Structure 1
C-alpha cells in the first residue's frame, strides 16, 4: 500500500525534506506572515494534539498572541526588565532587543500545567521525582515541532526565556491560570534577513552507530 494517497501528499512530503535544517534562530523578523492566521492556528493545534508526552500527560499549554496582544507582551517585558535592571544601568541594548521581538508578527507562549504534573505525581508516586523533568521534555518537543513547522512554511522564529521575570504580568494581562508555569516565548514573523552560517561540530564525535 502506498504511503501517499493523493498527489498533494507527495508534494507536502517534499516540503518536509530538510525541515530540521531550515529551523534556525531568526532575530530580524518583520510584522507580517507568509501564511494566514488560520494556518498558524492549525500548526499549533496539530502540535497540541499529536506531540507525545510521558504517560500521555498532555500537560503543555500554548497561547498564541497576535496584533495588540503580541505588542502588549513585549511592552510588559520591557517594563519588567527595566525595573529589574534599575535606573543605574544602561538599558539601550536591552530595549533594542525587546523592540526587535515586538516588531515581529506574533508570539507563541509555552506553559506547563503544574496541576497535571502534580496529579501524576500523586497517582504514580514511584515516579514522582521524574514528572517535572518529563514535563520539561514534552514542552521542549512542542517548541521544536512548532518551530520546525514554522520554518517549513517560511516563518522565522526564535526562542526566548523571560520566565521568572514576567510571569505575574503575563497571568494578569492575558487572564491565565497561575497553575500554568511559563516556560518560553517564541516571537515569529516573516524573515527580514537570513541568519548567518551555523557552526556544526563533527557528527562522528556525537553520533555512534552500531550494527
Structure 2
C-alpha cells in the first residue's frame, strides 16, 4: 500500500477519532517504528532518539495514568472536557512515546565543546524528524495518529511504570489506531510568505 512520498506527507494529519482496532499487526507496527528509529537522521549521527511502543493494555495504562495526573491539577468543574479528550487517545490501539537520551547529548557537548549550546537543539531536531517519519509511516499504512505533549506532567509516572532510564527525557506521545473520523480542512498560510527562491 506504499504511496508517493509527497502524497503520504499530505495525508499525514491529526486524527483524534481512533478505535482500538489496527489494520497492522503488532509485528508490522514494531517493524515500522524500528526502521524509523534506525534510519531517521540526526546531527553528528548522534542517534539520541529513543522510543517506547505501548500496545493494548499498556497503551490503556498510559492514558489512564495521564488522566489521573491531570485530575490532580485540573479544576473539578473543568475536568469533563479534559477527560473526554484523554478518552479519545485511550480509544486508540497503541502509543509511541518519544524520548531523547540526555547522556548522548551531554557526551557530545563534552566532546565538541564549541558546539555545546547547539546539541540540545539538534537533539530536538532529530526527535521532530523521527516523529514525522513514524507518523507518516503509520498513516501511510492506514492508521490514524496525533502528536501529544503531556510531558513533563507524566514524566515521573512513565519512568517508573515502564522502567525508563533516567537519562531518557520524554518529548512527545503519539496515540494511534484505526481512524474513525476524517480530519477537518487544514488552513495554509500563503506559501510566498514562507518560502523564498533565489536564482
Matches of 1:146 and 1:59, distance apart in 2: 16
What SS does the corresponding residue of 2:97 show, helix, strand or coil? strand
Larger of the two Rg values belongs to structure: 1
Contact 1:15/1:152 (8 A) holds in 2: no
**Match of 1:131?**
119
User: Could you tell me how far 1:16 is from its partner in structure 2?
Assistant: 3.3
Decide which moves more: 147-156 or 107-116: 147-156
**Match of 2:62?**
73
Instruction: Return the TM-score normalized by structure 1.
Output: 0.91
Which residue among 183, 204, 207 is the counterpart of 2:171?
A: 183
Q: Counterparts of 1:17-166 in structure 2 under 5 Å?
A: 17-87=6-76, 89-166=77-154
Structure 2 unmatched ranges of 5 or more: none
Contact 1:16/1:152 (8 A) holds in 2: no
What SS does the corresponding residue of 2:73 show, helix, strand or coil? helix
Structure 1 unmatched ranges of 5 or more: 1-10
Superposition RMSD in Å: 1.2
* Cα deviations by residue, 1:91-110 (Å, 9 ceiling, x for unpaired): 10001110110000100000
- Say if 2:186 is the partner of 1:171: no
User: Could you tell me how far 1:17 is from its partner in structure 2?
Assistant: 4.6
User: Could you tell me how far 1:210 is from its partner in structure 2?
Assistant: 2.0
Decide which moves more: 180-189 or 199-208: 199-208
Decide which moves more: 199-208 or 97-106: 199-208
User: Could you tell me how far 1:209 is from its partner in structure 2?
Assistant: 1.8
Instruction: Return the TM-score normalized by structure 2.
Output: 0.96
Contact 1:82/1:91 (8 A) holds in 2: yes
User: Could you tell me how far 1:204 is from its partner in structure 2?
Assistant: 2.0
Contact 1:43/1:146 (8 A) holds in 2: yes
What SS does the corresponding residue of 1:187 show, helix, strand or coil? strand
